[in-house]
Structure 1
Amino acid sequence: MKSELFATTLVGRPVCVTGLGVSGPPMARALHGLGAAVTLVDGRDDAAAAAAAEALRAEGIAVELGADAPPAGTDLVVTSPGWRPDSPLLVAAQQAGVEVIGDVELAWRLKPADQVWLAVTGTNGKTTTVRMLEAMLRADGRDALAVGNVGTPAIDAVRPAPGAAAPAVLAVELSSFQLHWSSSLRPHAATVLNVAPDHLDWHGGLDPYAEAKGRVFARGTIRVVNTADEWSRRLADGGDPAAPMVGCTLTAPRPGELGVVEGLLVDRAFVADPANTAEELAALADVRPAAPHNVANALAAAALARSVGVAPEAVRAGLAAFAPEPHRIAHVATVGGVGYVDDSKATNPHAAAASLSAFDSVVWVAGGLLKGADVTDLVRTAAPRLRGAVLLGRDRDQLRAALAEHAPGVPVADIEDTGPDAMAAVVAAAARLAVPGDTVLLAPAAASMDMFTNYNVRGDAFTEAVRWLDR
């Protein structure tokens, strides 16, 4: 449905928006501005929720706190990504025949007709890839913006403030939650970087989680595929067979692929004669950090950029301009010949495996909330490169058991402290286990909320402890 037509259907329409988090208020404001009769609903009723509610009410938007059902007469529910499908309000809406869509679906329905969307999803690497893509597009002179799960709500990029123009190209990071509630999304090109067990409690299993990711490969969407990832290949195969498929590989590319040859990122897909020619895009040294999984991210970003005609030199310039997000394989310091690396963002086993594979001899700092994930394969694969391990957090027993079975010769330090000095104890234990040439790697394979507010706070604590060690 064209955005103008959809917008006209919102005038006077009773719409319920769920959630007072990052996505809810911008959606409520956009819908209110289009003339919808908006009620924002949130299950919380604490002081912070009350303050946010008052700010919206001052703008003329109705807010109901502590509610678990849509207001009477609701004709459309627009849900924030964090609300599970089995939330009472969403179940009640669907049982009543009320359409439920997500924040990205709303933005898609309201976007300018000529705005191009390039979409990125996957279990790991989404933010890095989207930021790389944004940098490449801007280096090519495009009016581009990274949006979606990356931080800037997509609705703000399709309905900007009065007097501002909507960006011509969006690099859209999409979570499985957002894709679950998207039905008409049709990006110009998209990629599923990888799929590994995560958020299974939200989706009800790996297959529905992967299926949500696969929605990004819609009718007419150019499919950018990580050839090394089984799920990426499988989901792309389930996309539109009439749409082009472009592979990304860490080896020499075949026609129709981007890959790596003698330290160079090369394109054999978006060239005039893929069978006989290749275009140099960048050097491995332009990718920071040049860990294998990050090179895969760079290739995916390059493929998406090339799908809209970005020049090869802009790919390289974009990578040069790209500044990695904090807590993603960030070198903190070298102390006594030992490197200390913060990858606190490695919050699941798949991410931790990618991080561990980038180093030859590792003292591994791991643990936290495993969210039901199995660490057996992770430990078995990483065992040959482990010098030692330091475990922290609630679910460290599972990691200890896996290490005892699959890496019995690896010394393990178990940190029981969960207080403010716990990370200092972790780093001190890691320093005792490490020898010159080793890397002490914080790649927890687990979420942080048992001990820290989020992975950023965990990474900051690690960094501060290392800096004290270096004094």
Structure 2
Amino acid sequence: MGSQEVSTVDWQGKRVTVAGLGVSGIPAARALHERGALVTVVNDGDDARARTQAAELEALGITVRLGDGATLPPSTELVVTAPGWQPDKPLFLAAAEAGVPVWGDVELAWRLRGDNGRKAAPWLAVTGTNGKTTTVRMLASILEAAGLRTAAVGNIGVSLLDAVLGETEYDVLAVELSSYQLHWAPSLRAHSAAVLNLAPDHLDWHGSMEAYAADKGRVYEGNTVACVYNVSDPATEDLVREADVEEGCRAIGFTLGAPGPSQLGVVDGILVDRAFVANRQKQAQELAEVSDVNPPAPHNIANALAAAALARAFGVEPAAVRDGLRAFRPDAHRIEHVADIGEVAYVDDSKATNTHATEASLAAYDSIVWIAGGLAKGATFDELVTGAAKRLRGVVLIGADRALIHEALTRHAPEVPVVDLERTDTGAMSEAVARAAELARPGDTVLLAPACASMDMFTNYNKRGEAFADAVRARADESA
């Protein structure tokens, strides 16, 4: 199926099982029911919230089965699943045995786009282990600066179903896709797509690094204009080589160095394009200055280049790339500068929940007092510590698995002073900031980049970042 073709399905009387209530399951059930499908929703949980949601769907005539997400309802012709449900669940094994296809919410949105009679907007898709949300939001900002009707949707928290079936008629969509979503999206064909990077993540779900990479690589399948890859991460280029794309689709690299032909890169503080120019062997087009990227940390410049590549693939002019990057404001808790106190910068990167994200965060600063720790999710820290050792003024460790980071520091950075906070209540963050301030010297950066998940101490990484920011602002008020 070509990128611009719209798939039509006769839903009338089709027996569809929707797996999971929630942000994707409920809109899917409603959309399918409205189109005449006979919908049964199955859900593992049977709590008060699930019962309330079930009652709302049952009032529409949708069947809901709570507390049993394992059994395939009789005569099911299609399963539509929430992206987080693992592929080895009995429901999916039963579907495979019965020859019943399984779609995710992204696949359903792809199939239903244009269903409301309007033109189906092309998708510019972004995936990768880290940087997806920032890149998609940068891309949307650039597309808006070009005067295009667009939205940042998908794994970013805005339902793709709502985007493709809503009232707004978009010119193009900036789509963030997780590996979970791509696993269940067999017919997705983007206009252009980028894989930002690949590092081990969610391996418990995918089963292996090879399976995880293969699911990420699905984003390139059927691309019509550009497959954007990271020059410094050869695994992303390998995925481009393996992809079955439309004739004429190009491989476009992005690099923090000087770009070669068919690449975007950086020359003397300028973001330049040698891919979408008349003579890419001899010409380069200035797009923006590094200072236009907020913040101008190396990994964020890479995000900007990837966003620019996708926008340029869609025909956006250079001035819109510059204006869109200037207008972009990063989300909270992503290398967010909180305050300067006594010539020490305090930076919140609570979103750095794995070692790959934290490696990028640590690389952005020269002298760091690092606040780290939480739930390691099976991660190891030797490589991270080895790479960052020369930048570390000191380390403050918090959280349940802090000993794993401490052991790596002992092996690879024994001269770096370490404060190990045993307390794991939420108030520990105030003490962590205080101890970090004691270690810091003028010109240093106190950086919260935990390399771990937050749920041992906080509801989510947002709450962890807010606790850090509150503690820093309290110190700033005291020193004022």
Q: TM-score under structure 2 normalisation? A: 0.95
Aligned position for 1:450:
456
Q: Secondary structure at the match of 1:253?
A: coil
2:234 is the alignment partner of 1:230:
yes
Q: 1:236 to 1:403 in 2, by over 3 A?
A: same
Correspondent of 1:78 among 77, 80, 96: 80
**Aligned equivalents of 2:64 and 2:463: distance in 1?**
32
1:5 deviates by: 7.9
Q: What per-residue deviation string (whole Å, max 9, x for no partner) do you get for residues 33-76 of structure 1? A: 11111111110001111112222222332211101212221110
Change (3 A) 1:166 1:89: farther
Instruction: Tell me the distance in 2 between the aligned counterparts of 1:223 and 1:420.
Output: 44
Pick one of 336, 348, 358 that aligns with 1:352.
358
Q: Deviations over 1:7-27 (max 9, x none)?
A: 442111111111122111111
- Distance, in Å, in 2 between the alignment partners of 1:95 and 1:388 is 55
What residue in structure 1 maps to residue 165 of structure 2? 159
Q: Is the 8 A contact 2:43 2:67 kept in 1?
A: yes
What CA distance in whole angstroms lies between the structure 2 residues aligned with 1:460 and 1:53?
34
Aligned length: 468
Whether the aligned pair in 1 keeps the contact of 2:6 and 2:111 (CA below 8 Å) is no
Residue 411, structure 1, aligned to residue 413, structure 2: no
Q: Unaligned regions of 5+ residues in structure 1, if any? A: none
CA shift for structure 1 position 232: 1.1
2: CA distance between counterparts of 1:201 and 1:29?
31
Cα distance between partner residues in 1 of 2:342 and 2:194: 42
Decide whether the 8 Å contact of 1:4 with 1:110 is kept in 2: no
The answer (yes or no) to whether the contact 1:159–1:166 under 8 Å persists in 2 is no
Instruction: Give the conservation status (yes or no) of the 8 Å contact 1:17–1:78.
Output: yes
- Deviation, structure 1 residue 434: 1.0
> CA–CA distance in 1 between the matches of 2:61 and 2:453?
38
Distance 1:86 1:123, change over 3 A: same
RMSD in angstroms over aligned alpha carbons?
1.5
Report if the CA contact (8 A) 2:252-2:275 is conserved.
yes
- 1:138 aligned partner: 144
Distance (Å, rounded) in 1 between the aligned partners of 2:120 and 2:50: 37
Does structure 2 conserve the Cα–Cα contact (< 8 Å) formed by 1:223 and 1:239? no
Are the counterparts in 1 of residues 6 and 113 from structure 2 also a CA contact under 8 Å?
no
Q: Distance in 2 between matches of 1:65 and 1:245?
A: 46
1:178 matched residue in structure 2: 181
**AA partner of residue 439 (structure 2):** L
User: CA distance change for structure 1 residues 381 and 57 in 2, over 3 Å: closer, same or farther?
Assistant: same
Q: Matched residues in 2 for 1:122 and 1:6: separation?
A: 27
Instruction: Check the 8 A contact 1:20/1:42 in 2, yes or no.
Output: yes
**Conserved in 1, the CA contact under 8 Å of 2:192 and 2:228?**
yes
Deviation at 1:104, TM superposition (A): 0.6
Structure 2 counterpart of 1:74, one-letter code: T
Worse-superposed segment, 400-409 or 47-56: 47-56
1:107 aligns with 2:109: yes
Where 1:380 maps in the other structure, the secondary structure is helix
Shift of 1:4: 9.9
Any conservation in 1 of the 2:392–2:416 contact (CA below 8 Å)? Answer: yes
For residue 256 of structure 2, the aligned residue among 250, 253, 258 is 250
CA displacement 1:296-343 (0-9 Å, x = unmatched): 000000000001100110001111111101100000111122111000
Which of the numbers 195, 199, 206 marks the counterpart of 1:196? 199
The separation in 1 between residues aligned to 2:6 and 2:230, in whole angstroms, is 37
Q: Distance in 2 between matches of 1:16 and 1:62?
A: 9
CA-CA distance at 1:442 after TM superposition = 0.5
Q: Which amino acid aligns with 1:181?
A: W
Q: Which region of structure 1 is more displaced relative to structure 2, 3-12 or 445-454?
A: 3-12
CA distance in 2 between counterparts of 1:414 and 1:272 reads 57
Structure-2 separation of matches of 1:233 and 1:42 = 39
Unaligned runs of 5+ in 2: none
User: Match for 2:466: what amino acid?
Assistant: D
Cα gap change, 1:166 to 1:39, in 2 (>3 Å): farther
